Amino acid sequence: MAIVSVLALGGLLALAPARASGSGSGSGSGSGSTSGSARAEGRADARSDTPPMRRWAPERNMFELGVWGGLLVLNHAHELYDPRVAPHARYRRPAFDLGLRFAYFPLRWLGGELEVGVMPTRNEADARTTLYTVRGHFVGQLPWWRLTPFLVVGGGGMGVASAPSALGNDIDASFHWGPGAKFFINRWLAVRLDLRHLVGARREIRNGAASHFEALLGLSVTLGRSKDDGRDDDAGDPDGDNFYGEDDACPNEPGVYPHGCPDGDADGDGVGDEVDECPDEPGPGPRGCPAADRDGDEVADEDDACPDQPGAKPDGCPPDSDGDGVSDAEDRCIDQPGDPPDGCPPDADEDGVPDATDDCRKEPETINGYEDDDGCPDEVPERLTGVTGVMPGITFETNSAKITRESYATLDQTVETLKANPKYDVRIEGHTDDRGTREHNLTLSQRRADAVADYLASKGIDRSRIETRGAGPDHPVADNGTAEGRAQNRRIEFKLRKRVGRRKKR
């Protein structure tokens, strides 16, 4: 009786739009009647141009309330009985299957359902029994058409209620899955077919599980479709053309597939084909063409400060950390403002020390970790050779600034050397390989340099003698494409300089 009642309700709901339309056109007078008729005709024309299979497709945040009936075929080796009060007996099959379901679809393609079902039947001894199910499952569906295929996967419980002389009372866990399809008759109603494979407990568990099968035919009432705007239009579809939300490029003009725009606007940009200079490419008015973007960075040329170099919003220019007008990708001195083409400041002897701070502009610096920032050639005094340049004995835990215990011997020797040479300051530089983002590596290398400085200070070195810098991946000494090269690039460097006195410029 429940299914018959719902089917009758479905018939009334299916007829309701037609009755309302007939009443609207036959009653009233003057402009109100004409306006209602025009809107109805507009919707009819729009729907006639919309592919029928796209009408009433699923939407987000829809609810479904439904009933179903069908057949259940039970495995003879079932365990749906109470062995304490009754012997095992087969059920007659198939059993008639009745149930209710509630569904919610937060996404057009994914939802969840709860079901309750009863199956009145008899066992092979003709004793009355009632099987029942309580279960839930996920539903994945293809939401682009009114005929919507889906797949369910879930679980719950299957039980039996009967007299002790029949099979007693029992309930077991079950798992189920299966395909199906829904057909949306209109915005309110859908019919549905499910085929289910149920897996439950089997008599004598060592023999595995028992498979049961269901075939269900149901009817659902759908709720939660987009509300209308107060006009005589379909829910969430002001122009009545059955294109909703983002799918409708012309929400206030009835249109046709694929954009929901009137025939004559092929690209759906709201600019009619008769005036659209780019009828196959959506673009803003009045020309209807997409904005020019020569470098393809999605910043229109008219807003792009670097129209021939791909960059990021808002100005469309590539990153330039030091702001010298040379992008980081082409800048050899990424943290020093310089001149094109390499982005480095003037350096006559090409030793890496800018002329502005180079004491020996015509003689290149000897890069050895000893007074490397004065720009003059020099040799490391023998007493300082253990605390300059790369310090291979200093290592850290992976992706961390925690110093390993194996590093303490090297650091303690460094402390003794610095204490014996108080006229020298030390700059500690941290370097990384190129794995991970540059920002992360800059931060990590700075933390590692600071960790070394903190260790030296904890052993008695005046913190004012120590400077730290995190260089990240910007100054590799080996190929980051190999594990060996990356290991060499993860390093700590010490650079010494005298605390007082400067050489005269040569």
Predicted local distance difference test score (pLDDT) of residue 128: 86
Beta bridge partners, 123, equal 91
Residue 272 in this model has a pLDDT that exceeds 80:
no
Neighbours of 58 (CB within 10 A): 24
Q: Where are the domains of the chain?
A: 62-223, 380-498
Mean pLDDT of 30-43: 40
Mean pLDDT of 415-433: 90
Fold of 62-223: Porin (2.40.160)
Orientation angle between helical segments 2-26 and 30-49, nearest 10 degrees? 120
User: What's the pLDDT tens digit per position in 83-133?
Assistant: 777 777 788 778 899 999 999 999 989 999 999 999 898 887 778 888 899
User: What's the pLDDT tens digit per position in 357-369?
Assistant: 656 766 665 555 5
Predicted local distance difference test score (pLDDT) of residue 51: 67
Predicted local distance difference test score (pLDDT) of residue 486: 93
pTM of the model: 0.39
Predicted local distance difference test score (pLDDT) of residue 318: 67
Residue 209 in this model has a pLDDT that exceeds 50:
yes
Q: Are 357 and 385 in contact (CB under 8 A)?
A: no
Helix (H, G, I), strand (E, B) or coil at 418: helix
Tokens of 269: 């940009």
Residue 428 DSSP one-character state: E
Strands of 351-465, DSSP E = 389-390, 424-431
Report the percent of the chain where pLDDT is more than 90: 34
The span from the CA of 449 to the CA of 441, in Å, is 12
Q: What are phi and psi of 233, to 5 degrees?
A: -115, 170
Residue 465 in this model has a pLDDT that exceeds 60:
yes
Predicted local distance difference test score (pLDDT) of residue 115: 96
The span from the CA of 463 to the CA of 467, in Å, is 8
Residue 20 in this model has a pLDDT that exceeds 80:
no
Report the percent of the chain where pLDDT is more than 70: 60
Predicted local distance difference test score (pLDDT) of residue 45: 44
Strands of 355-465, DSSP E = 389-390, 424-431
Q: Which residue has the higher pLDDT, 185 or 498?
A: 185
Q: Which residue has the higher pLDDT, 80 or 435?
A: 435
pLDDT band at 352 (very low <50, low <70, confident <90, very high): low
User: What's the pLDDT tens digit per position in 315-326?
Assistant: 667 666 666 667
Predicted local distance difference test score (pLDDT) of residue 457: 94
Of 228, 214, 232, 246, the C-alpha closest to 115 is: 214
Q: In the chain, what is the straight-line distance between the N-terminal and C-terminal CA atoms, in Å?
A: 107
User: What's the pLDDT tens digit per position in 142-197?
Assistant: 988 889 999 999 999 998 888 887 777 888 889 999 999 999 998 899 999 999 99
The span from the CA of 206 to the CA of 190, in Å, is 43
Predicted local distance difference test score (pLDDT) of residue 351: 57
The span from the CA of 494 to the CA of 469, in Å, is 11
Who's near 291: CB < 8 A, 6+ residues apart? 283, 284, 300, 301, 302
Residue 17 in this model has a pLDDT that exceeds 80:
no
Burial class (CB in 10 A: 0-12, 13-18, 19+), 66: buried
User: What's the pLDDT tens digit per position in 332-345?
Assistant: 777 777 667 766 77
Q: What is the CA radius of gyration of the chain?
A: 39
Out of 133-147, 148-162, 202-216, 277-291, pick the least confident.
277-291
Orientation angle between helical segments 438-458 and 408-420, nearest 10 degrees? 60
Predicted local distance difference test score (pLDDT) of residue 43: 44
Predicted local distance difference test score (pLDDT) of residue 172: 86
The span from the CA of 309 to the CA of 337, in Å, is 20
Residue 349 in this model has a pLDDT that exceeds 60:
no
Of 319, 322, 321, 292, the C-alpha closest to 307 is: 292
pLDDT band at 140 (very low <50, low <70, confident <90, very high): very high
Please give the mean pLDDT across all residues of the chain. Answer: 76
Predicted local distance difference test score (pLDDT) of residue 232: 38
Fold of 380-498: 60s Ribosomal Protein L30; Chain: A; (3.30.1330)
